[in-house]
Amino acid sequence: MHKLCSLFRQPSPVLLFCLQAAIAIGLFSLLCWVTIRHTVGEIDEHLFLKVTQIQHLPPDEIPARIAMDTSDDPENKRPYGYFSPRGEHIVGAFETLPSKVDGKPFNLIATLGHQAGDVQRHYRGVVVRLPSGGILVTARSTDGEGHFDKVLLLIAGGSLVFVLVIGMVSGTLVNAAAARRLRDVRRATQQIASGRLDHRLPLSGSGDDIDNITAVVNSMLDEVERLIRDIQGICAGIAHEVRTPMTRMRGTLETTRRRTMSVTDYEQVIDTALQQSDIVMTRFSALLRIAQIGEAAVLARKSPLNLQDVLNDVIDFYEAAAEERSLTLELLPCVPAIVNGEADLLFSAFGNLIENALKFTPPGGAITVMLHQRDGKVTVEVRDTGPGIPVAERDLVFLPFYRAKHQAGTTTTGSGIGLSLVAAIARLHNANVSIREGGPRCCVAVVFESGMHIHPAGASREEVDCKR
Ligand SMILES: Nc1ncnc2c1ncn2[C@@H]1O[C@H](COP(=O)(O)OP(=O)(O)O)[C@@H](O)[C@H]1O
Ligand SMILES: [Mg+2]
């Protein structure tokens, strides 16, 4: 029973094909049976009509009528036979009386006539005892109908065989093509499994179901490859960032061990070691924070919020710091834009961007925050009048611990973790963060893929978008 159920849940192509062939043969047989029944019914009706016509004739006129009909039918297609009550032949092409005189139509084979070319024919006939006592045999040749049946059988059987052959050939071809593609996919999968992460599954370009699944798997592999490269970059970054303070700490401790020093000197060395270990701890905490951002609990805290409110809070928070550095910090007029998000994380992301702008913009400069919405996408831009980020480093700065080269030798502090934190928060909000062309200035844009726009009553589109 279980086997039968699984057969219906996952029918094999061969089983389906056999089922279709059986249905086709069944339908064809039904068609033949109905056609033959109809033809035979018509012949029988005609025979009984003839019997009725002759029955109603006066008994002495019957032989003359039969003789006339027989002479009108030289090929014996509608033959008669008239016999005496005792079965002696009187008139008609049938000279021998068939054995059953029951008035029921039956099939018979006979050679009528006495000429050399006369052949055996198939007939449908009936033998009836007339009220006068005489026995009437009337029949009709069925050779024409037999021929029609043969042609019908030939056409239908031929088309059936043709359809079956075409079905089998095309099924085999389709099966072979699918098997070939699956073989290619299996080979490519084995290569990927053996460590060739840059390898992708082959696409046929037909856009069918296998292609769609393959494309999804390929994009998944792209993401896996990107993640692995990110992890490699992060590992290299961690090694680099931790090695510097650890080397310093080890050097100081080694020197101290070799020299005889006062208690105050030892205290200083311990302070330096503590400072360096604090740096290591801070960097690990930052990494932990990025790791925690992807956790499900954070995802659950997301709810629709107005980005305008979040940005106003961030501007309020950093206003004093900007003033201290003689920088202007403003949010350009804009309208509410709703996204599904987590307020604290978004505050932290935009806060990081403003902290960078504050850090890298020389005194007297300006920091401008913009919020606008176009084509269903909500964009937040943080611009400053600082040195900007070189084009070649615009992707690299999002890697943990990466600091742009132009920062080397400057006095700005930082560990290079801020922008990777922003990127992680953006990913969590289905947003994309990038460094845009801002002339010599820096422009960081966070684009949320789906935003909900609230049009203030009566506001036109131009008023709604941010003035740029
Ligand atoms: N507004 C900016 N102007 C110029 N350079 C920037 C700006 N924001 C970020 N950067 C560059 O990107 C690097 C990475 O930034 P971030 O991850 O925040 O690290 P950090 O601020 O600790 O240096 C910075 O070191 C800096 O070189
Ligand atoms: Mg920073």
* Ligand 1: residue whose CA is nearest its atom 18: 418
Q: Which one of 382, 397, 437, 443 would you pick to mutate in the ligand 1 pocket, going by the greatest count of ligand atoms within 8 A of its CB?
A: 397
Instruction: Please give the Cα distance from 407 to 284 (Å, whole number).
Output: 22
Taking the centre of ligand 1 as the mean of its atom positions, its distance from the CA of residue 281, in whole angstroms, is 21
Query: What secondary structure letter does DSSP report for 73?
Result: -
Q: Is 81 in the pocket of ligand 1 (CB under 6 A)?
A: no
Looking from the CA of 163 toward its CB, the CA atoms found within 13 Å total 15
Q: Is 403 in the pocket of ligand 1 (CB under 6 A)?
A: yes
Phi-psi region of 202 (alpha: psi -120 to 50; beta: other; left: phi over 0): beta
Cβ of 394 closer than 6 Å to ligand 1, yes or no, is no
Beta bridge partners of 369: 331, 382
Please check whether residue 386 is in contact with residue 357, taking contact to mean a CB–CB distance below 8 angstroms. yes
Residue carrying structure tokens 């700490």: 249
Q: Is 407 in the pocket of ligand 1 (CB under 6 A)?
A: yes
Atom of ligand 1 nearest to the CA of 407: 27
**Geometric angle at alpha carbon 164, from 159 and 166, rounded to 5°:** 90
Pick the atom of ligand 1 nearest to 402's CA: 14
Q: From the CB of 397, is ligand 1 less than 6 Å away? A: yes
Ligand 1 atom, smallest distance to 417 CA: 17
How high is the pLDDT of residue 468? 36
Of ligand 1's listed atoms, the one at least distance from the Cα of 415 is 22
Please indicate whether residue 415, judged by its CB atom, sits closer than 6 Å to ligand 1.
yes
Q: Do the beta carbons of residue 307 and residue 371 sit within 8 Å?
A: yes
The reported pLDDT for the residue numbered 3 is: 57
Sheet of 303-306, strands arranged across: 303-306, 337-341, 452-453
Atom of ligand 1 nearest to the CA of 387: 4
Domains, the chain, with CATH or none: 1-199 (3.30.450), 209-293 (1.10.287), 298-464 (3.30.565.10)
| Residue with CA closest to ligand 1 atom 19 | 416
- Do the beta carbons of residue 325 and residue 363 sit within 8 Å? yes
Ligand 2 centroid to residue 278 C-alpha, Å: 18
Rounded to whole angstroms, the Cα distance separating 172 from 175 reads 5
pLDDT in tens, the chain (468 residues): 555 555 555 566 667 777 877 887 788 788 878 888 888 899 999 999 999 988 888 888 889 998 888 888 888 888 999 999 888 889 988 888 888 778 889 888 888 776 656 678 888 999 999 888 889 999 998 887 767 777 877 887 888 888 888 888 888 888 888 888 889 989 999 998 898 888 899 888 888 888 899 899 999 999 888 878 777 766 776 777 778 788 888 888 888 888 877 888 888 888 888 988 888 887 787 777 777 766 666 667 788 999 999 999 999 999 999 999 999 999 998 888 999 998 988 999 999 999 999 999 999 999 999 999 888 899 999 999 998 898 889 998 998 888 887 655 556 677 788 898 899 889 888 899 999 876 668 999 999 987 654 444 433 343 333 333
- CB of 354 within 6 A of ligand 1: the answer is no
Q: Whose CA is nearest to atom 11 of ligand 1?
A: 404
Which amino acid would we find at residue 227?
A: L
Residues with C-beta atoms within 5 A of ion ligand 2: 356, 414, 418
CA distance 51 to 441: 113
Residue 241's contacts (CB-CB under 8 Å, 6 or more residues apart) are 283, 401, 415, 416
- pLDDT confidence of residue 4: 59
Q: Is the CB of 237 under 6 A from ligand 1?
A: no
What does R_g of the chain's alpha carbons equal in angstroms?
A: 49
Q: How far is the centre of ligand 2, averaged over its atoms, from the C-alpha of 333 (Å)?
A: 26
Instruction: Let me know: does 365 contact 386? Beta carbons within 8 Å.
Output: yes
Give Cα 165 distance to the centre of its chain: 31
Q: Using a 6 Å cutoff on CB, does residue 76 contact ligand 1?
A: no
**SS3 for 287?**
helix
CA angle, 29 as apex, 26 and 32 as ends, to 5°? 155
Nearest CA to ligand 1 atom 9: 356
Residues 6+ away with beta carbon under 8 Å from 205:
211
For ligand 1, atom 6: residue with the closest CA: 389
- Dist. CA 356 → ligand 1 center (Å): 6
Edge-to-edge, what's the strand order for the sheet holding 80-83?
89-91, 80-83, 135-141, 121-129, 106-110
For the Cβ of 433 lying below 6 angstroms from any atom of ligand 1, the answer is no
Distance 276 CA to ligand 1 centre (A): 22
Compute, in angstroms, the gap from residue 341 CA to the centroid of ligand 1: 24
Separation of alpha carbons 174 and 185, rounded Å: 16
Which of 356, 407, 411, 437 is the best mutation target for the ligand 1 pocket, counting ligand atoms within 8 Å of the beta carbon and taking the most?
Answer: 356
- CA of 238 from ligand 1 middle (Å) equals 17
Check if 365 has its Cβ closer than 6 Å to any atom of ligand 1: no
For the record, the structure tokens of 50 come out as: 């003839």
Q: How many residues does the chain have?
A: 468
Q: Is 322 exposed, middle or buried (0-12, 13-18, 19+ CB in 10 A)?
A: buried
- Residue 412: per-residue pLDDT: 66
Is any ligand 1 atom within 6 A of the Cβ of residue 414? Answer: yes
Inter-residue contact 368 to 332 (CB < 8 Å): yes
Strands (E) located in 64-196? 80-83, 89-91, 106-110, 121-129, 135-141
Distance 127 CA to ligand 1 centre (A): 113
Q: Assess contact for 420 and 399: CB atoms under 8 A.
A: yes
DSSP 394-407: TTGGGSTT---GGG
Q: What is the pLDDT of residue 116?
A: 57
Which residues in 267-418 belong to E strands, given as ranges? 303-306, 328-331, 337-341, 366-374, 377-384
How far is C-alpha 77 from the chain's CA centre? Answer: 66
Residue with tokens 């036979």: 81
